[in-house]
Amino acid sequence: MSRSPLLDLAFGYMPAQMLHVAAEIGLADALADGPRPSAELARETGTHAPSLYRLLRGLTGLGVVEQKERDLFALTAEGQRLRTDAPDSIRALVRLFCGPDVWRTWGDMTETLRTGEYAWKRVTGTTSFEYFESNEELSATFNEAMAEHTRAVAPGIIEAHDFGRYGTVADLGGGDGTLLAAILRANPGLRGMLFDLPAGLAAASGPLEDVADRAETVPGDFFEAVPEGADAYVLKSVIHDWHDEKATAILRNVRAAMRPDARVLVLEQVMPEIVTPETRGVVHNDLNMLVSTGGRERTEAEFRELLEGAGLTAVSLTGPLPPSAYHVIEARPA
């Protein structure tokens, strides 16, 4: 009897946790200099050698490592992405989204479907953002995960939209400035403002180092107000975190700060009206918002309605952009 694809999906938690453990113990970093036996790797990663050997065999089956000899393992090209120093690293993303906190919220999805209350708040007693703020280590993992994701999507966004037409771009909720730095590097005549809560700005000096003469960091809360004076206001992966009422509040504060000729650029995935297996990525993200933040992914029509409710009018939609199907939704004051 052939193996059922549905059964493979049902057991998908197994490879997810294998990858999480590998990322958590820094296994790829320990393999960075070449093949090593399990005993050496166990000493460096602080693990039990016989158990680690069994995990290494499992990771071989996933194509993350290669078994050179009976007890000699090396990273594959894909496995290199679990290294902390890899330019396309996804280590922090794996640690965050396969970690115990997100894991618990997904495990409580049944109750979310029964009540409509997102699981993170029910499971932890607080919102995800408050939870991150109170946990320094988890907050650092979250910020690095967002930076990893931004490094992957930034080239497509920059290629798709002419940022050179602006004088100043404000990145709202921009974290450590990874996206703003990439935009400024690609547009030498541009100036930038990085706006976020103080905790979000804590690591900004690194990414912005080579463009520091054109970048200003501004602490604040976009639920209260945003800085005036920018020609374009960027909101990447912000609006999807919130339900309609809070998302509208953010956009209204942006609208209040905008000059008549300014623009707001909403950078998000767009939910198709009809979902297919090829668009499952945005659906998975939507379900993650359902259990983790109470937010949602939105269709083009829903984005337009949201913008109109904040006094803005969508003028263009560009995308989907590789590799993560982001869109650039450009809007002006109504």
Annotated catalytic residues are 240
Tokens for 168, please give them.
């100043």
Q: How far apart are CA 331 and CA 184, in angstroms?
A: 21
DSSP bridge pairs for 36: 73
Q: How many CB atoms lie within 10 A of CB 151?
A: 17
Phi/psi class of residue 287: alpha, beta or left (left: φ > 0; alpha: ψ in -120 to 50)? Answer: alpha
Q: What are the phi and psi torsion angles at 99 (to 5°)?
A: -80, 175
Non-local CB neighbours of 205 within 8 Å, separated by 6+ positions: 212
| The one-letter amino acid at 127 | T
DSSP bridge pairs for 269: 326
Q: How far apart are CA 17 and CA 255, in angstroms?
A: 43
| The one-letter amino acid at 137 | E
Location of structure tokens 């703003």:
180
Report in angstroms the alpha-carbon separations of 124 from 23, 114, 119, 158, 241: 24, 18, 8, 37, 17
Could you tell me if 123 and 104 are in contact, meaning their C-beta atoms sit under 8 angstroms apart? yes
Could you tell me if 92 and 148 are in contact, meaning their C-beta atoms sit under 8 angstroms apart? yes
**What stretch of H or E contains 315?**
strand 312-321
Q: How many CB atoms lie within 10 A of CB 71?
A: 14
| The one-letter amino acid at 23 | A
Could you tell me if 159 and 186 are in contact, meaning their C-beta atoms sit under 8 angstroms apart? no
